[in-house]
Amino acid sequence: MIRGTVFIASDICKGCELCIAACPQHSLSLSRQINPKGYKYAELINDECTGCINCALVCPDAAITVYRQAKVKKAV
């Protein structure tokens, strides 16, 4: 399984929840806190992210950056 993680720029997130609906791993949720704009923001809630980038593709504000772990080569 490819591992991934996301950085969400909480200060520009509008809490539209599109990324939450798009995540096949159910790894995103809305925060309890609000950001400076007055919105709840998306946050990563588990370590099941595969780095599929669905969330980043649907975010209208480009608030999500996805990172994927490089595959480790096995020693021969």
Contact between residue 17 and residue 63 where contact means Cβ atoms under 8 Å apart: no
Return the number of the residue (34 or 76) whose C-beta is nearest ligand SF4: 34
Q: Residues 1, 2, 6, 35: which binds ligand SF4 (CB under 6 A)?
A: 6
Residues 33-52 that bind ligand SF4 (CB under 6 A): 41-42, 49-52
b/e burial code for range 54-69 (CB count within 10 A of at least 16 → b)? bbbeebeeebbebeee
Residues 12-31 that bind ligand SF4 (CB under 6 A): 13-19, 22-23, 25, 27-28
